[in-house]
């Protein structure tokens, strides 16, 4: 029977529930169990696809085209296995299903209520991935205990414990133990309150994971155990780490895996297999090279907006024994040529980020021109690739004011235009070209050198594409389509001849980079930044 672990959070948000869930999953995977992680988000949006990065950070896209929470990215990066639409559920999706059933007459004669109808749907979704595919399912509950919108989820947890039985169910509650500098003390009261709040909903945590900046003493563990109604061994310290990838090791030292294994009555090896993980950490800690890579985007004050890109650099840096310093540069600041020179001159590589809308576009185009003219390794992702095409059209092909029709619908040179199947779509949610598509690579390309394969599959999230009408003109002058979608002949990769490394991709390689399988394009890009280092 599949075992279920639920991870809740208390005291504040941003404690790193996703990382704790992923770290625990990694340890259990290392013990030989088949594990997956899912996230339940209490907000009303059906998915985060329509939320802007200020609200919600990056939107993570799965192979099956689901637009999901960025924590799913952590799950994939840690576990090295793909997630899907089933792994991310919101209140909006729960209600949508229940309301559709009501309209179809499935509850005929009954009043439809939060309990049992909404909670039944929550439970159905929470156990959907159970059965033969997984030994253990970890569910992260978004939000913080005490939020009004979390209540139906906690009620579902209360019911599930009864239905599944104590040894098939485990709740891990993550809280904060703040340190008061003036009193020179760690404080347990907020945790006591948050556990009380959980208990009021009928949920008793089995394990308490305490996020803290200072080690917690035995006395504190004892006190928490007493007040929170659990065994002292089940009070786990989660001290701040310098990298999220250290957290599985910290959790191992604290025996979080053993506590869970005991609660769930699982049979396991004495220690999890973490060879590849430790190898990665060793490389991360002992780089022999260092490069500066500019990340040109428009949400630079918000690292979460480009989460997967930052992480892909961590993986590909370690694979190259290289410390990659990612320097976030606001594209709008590059519209002034003097500022542009100042900002870009110390860089060993330039990445132009994905994005939507016209803000910051001209700065992105100028950064690409700089990379092209100065032979600086360049990776353009999605909008970044589209900007590379526009730059080349304007500055090499002499197509004045060439543009993407997303930015200038009336341009004389629509080198990037809306995809045919997108033209009649009015709704915004879940309607882009989403998910994994195949791409065929030319054998002579940089992409092929990186992937060492002619057929790849990568994830997409866009409405616009390269306008094939212009391809011959581009190729004649040295910008060529090195990867195409075999079914529709869409241009997926553009490369530049006579440049050390200049690759624009219509897809999102960052979404598939994991600790154990760093993305080949990022690995190759960082490699070329090292080789071409002039400063």
Binding residues for ligand GLN, per CB under 6 A? Answer: 354-356, 382-383, 406, 461-464
- Residue 120 burial (CB < 10 Å; 0-12/13-18/19+)? middle
Decide whether 95 or 356 has the Cβ nearer to ligand GLN. Answer: 356
Decide whether 191 or 308 has the Cβ nearer to ligand GLN. Answer: 308
Decide whether 21 or 505 has the Cβ nearer to ligand GLN. Answer: 505
Question: Exposed e or buried b for every residue in 337-351, given b needs 16+ CB within 10 A?
Answer: eebbeebbeebbbbb
Alpha helices for 296-433 (secondary structure H): 307-319, 337-344, 361-373, 383-395
Q: In the complex, what is the shortest distance from the CB of residue 466 to ligand GLN, in angstroms, rounded to a whole number?
A: 10
Decide whether 40 or 313 has the Cβ nearer to ligand GLN. Answer: 313
Q: Which of 121, 315, 510, 529 is labelled catalytic?
A: 510
Q: Is residue 508 flagged as an active site residue?
A: yes
Decide whether 247 or 371 has the Cβ nearer to ligand GLN. Answer: 371
Decide whether 67 or 254 has the Cβ nearer to ligand GLN. Answer: 67
Cα distances (angstroms) measured from residue 271 to each of 31, 137, 216, 257, 389: 7, 20, 24, 9, 51
Q: Are 505 and 451 in contact (CB under 8 A)?
A: no
Beta bridge partners of 209: 174, 236
User: DSSP string spanning 209-252?
Assistant: EEEESSPPPHHHHHHHHHHHTS-GGGEEEEE--SSGGGHHHHHH
Alpha-carbon torsion (446, 452, 455, 457), positive or negative: negative
Q: Which of 210, 228, 322, 382 is labelled catalytic?
A: 382
Q: In the complex, what is the shortest distance from the CB of residue 461 to ligand GLN, in angstroms, rounded to a whole number?
A: 5
Q: In the complex, what is the shortest distance from the CB of residue 245 to ligand GLN, in angstroms, rounded to a whole number?
A: 26
Decide whether 256 or 521 has the Cβ nearer to ligand GLN. Answer: 521
Q: In the complex, what is the shortest distance from the CB of residue 276 to ligand GLN, in angstroms, rounded to a whole number?
A: 31
161 CB-side CA count, 13 A: 16
User: In degrees to the nearest 10, what's the CA dihedral of 51, 57, 63, 66?
Assistant: -20
Structure-block tokens of residue 435: 């998910």
Decide whether 29 or 411 has the Cβ nearer to ligand GLN. Answer: 411
Q: How would you list the strands of the sheet with 136-141, edge to edge?
A: 88-90, 35-41, 136-141, 3-9, 169-176, 207-212, 235-239
Cα distances (angstroms) measured from residue 113 to each of 42, 43, 130, 505: 17, 18, 26, 47
Q: Which of 74, 448, 508, 519 is labelled catalytic?
A: 508
Q: In the complex, what is the shortest distance from the CB of residue 488 to ligand GLN, in angstroms, rounded to a whole number?
A: 15
User: Residue 29: enclosing H or E segment and its boundaries?
Assistant: helix 17-30
Q: Is residue 58 flagged as an active site residue?
A: no
Q: In the complex, what is the shortest distance from the CB of residue 404 to ligand GLN, in angstroms, rounded to a whole number?
A: 7
Q: Are 507 and 460 in contact (CB under 8 A)?
A: yes
Q: Are 384 and 364 in contact (CB under 8 A)?
A: yes
- CA pair distance 225, 208, nearest whole angstrom: 9
Decide whether 206 or 406 has the Cβ nearer to ligand GLN. Answer: 406
Q: Are 82 and 63 in contact (CB under 8 A)?
A: yes
Q: Are 61 and 70 in contact (CB under 8 A)?
A: no
Q: In the complex, what is the shortest distance from the CB of residue 186 to ligand GLN, in angstroms, rounded to a whole number?
A: 43
Q: Is residue 31 flagged as an active site residue?
A: no
Would residue 289 be called left, alpha or beta, if left means φ above 0 and alpha means ψ between -120 and 50 degrees? beta
The radius of gyration of the chain from alpha carbons, rounded to an integer in Å, stands at 25
Q: List residues with catalytic annotation.
A: 382, 508, 510
């Amino acid at each position: 029977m599949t075992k279920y672990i639920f991870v809740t959070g208390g005291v504040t948000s941003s404690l790193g529930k996703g990382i704790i869930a992923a770290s625990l999953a990694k340890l259990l995977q290392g013990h030989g169990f088949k594990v997956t992680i899912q996230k339940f988000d209490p907000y009303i949006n059906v998915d985060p696809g329509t939320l802007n990065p200020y609200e919600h950070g990056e939107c993570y896209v799965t192979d099956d085209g689901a637009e999901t929470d960025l924590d799913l990215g952590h799950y994939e990066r840690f576990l090295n296995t793909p997630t899907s639409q089933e792994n991310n559920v919101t209140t909006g999706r729960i209600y949508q299903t229940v309301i559709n059933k009501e309209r179809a007459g499935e509850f005929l004669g009954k009043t439809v209520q939060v309990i049992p109808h909404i909670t039944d749907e929550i439970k159905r979704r929470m156990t959907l991935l159970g059965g033969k595919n997984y030994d253990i399912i970890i569910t992260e509950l978004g939000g913080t205990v005490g939020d009004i919108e979390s209540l139906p989820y906690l009620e579902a947890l209360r019911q599930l414990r009864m239905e599944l039985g104590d040894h098939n169910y485990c709740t891990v509650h993550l809280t904060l133990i703040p340190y008061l500098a003036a009193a020179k003390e760690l404080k347990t009261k907020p945790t006591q309150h948050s556990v009380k709040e959980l208990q009021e909903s009928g949920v008793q945590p089995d394990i308490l994971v305490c996020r803290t900046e200072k080690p917690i003493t035995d006395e504190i563990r004892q006190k928490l155990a007493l007040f929170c109604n659990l065994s002292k061994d089940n009070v786990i310290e989660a001290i701040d780490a310098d990298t999220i990838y250290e957290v599985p090791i910290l959790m191992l030292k604290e025996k979080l895996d053993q506590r869970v294994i005991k609660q769930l009555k699982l049979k396991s090896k004495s220690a999890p297999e973490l060879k590849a993980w430790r190898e990665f950490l060793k490389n991360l800690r002992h780089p022999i090279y260092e490069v500066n890579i500019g990340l040109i985007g428009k949400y630079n004050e918000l690292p979460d907006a480009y989460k997967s890109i930052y992480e892909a650099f961590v993986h590909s840096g370690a694979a190259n024994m290289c410390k990659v310093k990612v320097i976030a540069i606001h594209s709008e600041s590059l519209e002034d040529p003097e500022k542009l020179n100042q900002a870009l001159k110390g860089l060993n590589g330039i990445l132009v980020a994905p994005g939507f809308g016209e803000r910051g576009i001209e700065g992105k185009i100028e950064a690409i021109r700089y990379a092209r003219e100065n032979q600086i390794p360049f990776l353009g992702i999605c909008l970044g690739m589209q900007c590379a095409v526009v730059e080349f059209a304007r500055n090499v092909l002499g197509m004045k004011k060439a543009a993407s029709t997303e930015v200038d619908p009336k341009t004389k040179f629509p080198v990037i235009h809306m995809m045919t199947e997108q033209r009649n779509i009015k709704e915004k949610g879940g309607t882009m070209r989403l998910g994994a598509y195949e791409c065929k690579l030319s054998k002579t390309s940089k992409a092929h050198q990186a992937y060492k394969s002619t057929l790849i599959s990568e994830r997409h999230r866009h409405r616009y594409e390269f306008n094939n009408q212009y391809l011959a003109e581009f190729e004649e002058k040295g910008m060529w389509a090195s990867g195409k979608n075999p079914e529709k002949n869409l241009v997926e990769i553009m490369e530049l001849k006579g440049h050390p490394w200049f690759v624009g991709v219509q897809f999102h390689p960052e979404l598939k980079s994991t600790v154990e399988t760093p993305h080949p394009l990022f690995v190759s890009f960082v490699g070329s930044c090292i080789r071409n280092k002039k400063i």
